[in-house]
Amino acid sequence: MTPESPNPKKSEFAYAVILTTNSYSIGVKVLAWSLRAVATSFPLVVMYVPGALSPSDFNELENLGCKFRETSRIDLTGKKTNFANPYPYYEETWTKLQVFGLIEFKRVILLDADMLVCKNVDELMDIYIPEGWIGAVYNCKCNPMRKPNYPLDWSAIFLPYETGH
């Protein structure tokens, strides 16, 4: 591939973020800016529910090179599930499953709206993942800030990579 030729992966891979409320739009803008600042080769797809993205936020994100997909909220309120949820603010988390609807891409990396990318992580697009598998990162259950609303059994003994924060 010469410098002038387009990256064939550019249209096959993407980063994605879910926006369910306008209060997270500033975080999405920072995320988009940080991806641009580290010179990612891939677009950020902003998946938003109706009403979560103002016209001015849309324009700012579009100027940062974002793509957009309107999506719908996955709301399990009042539905019987096997998932006990003592934390109401996690209700929005279910909507992240909508990322599986981005079937036009071979690989999508879901990022949270409160993330800041400090170095280029495009190599994640090249990690081998067997067909039909999903790649994921470890969820820290360490609660280093000792937040009272976290499960009581989350402690530093569950910290997998270091002994403390």
Q: What is the pLDDT of residues 102-126, one digit of tens each?
A: 999 999 999 999 999 999 999 999 9
pTM of the model: 0.80
**The CA-based dihedral angle spanning residues 72, 77, 82, 84, taken in that order and rounded to the nearest 10 degrees:** 120
pLDDT attached to residue 163: 44
Cβ atoms of 132 and 116 within 8 Å: the answer is no
* 49: pLDDT strictly greater than 80: yes
Question: Quick one: what percent of the chain has pLDDT higher than 90?
Answer: 59
Q: Tokens at residue 81, please?
A: 């599930």
CATH 3.90.550.10, domain 13-134, yes or no: yes
Sign of the torsion formed by the C-alpha atoms of 29, 34, 35 and 39: positive
What is the spatial distance between Cα 8 and Cα 1, in angstroms, rounded to a whole number? 9
Domain residues of the chain, as ranges?
Answer: 13-134, 138-165
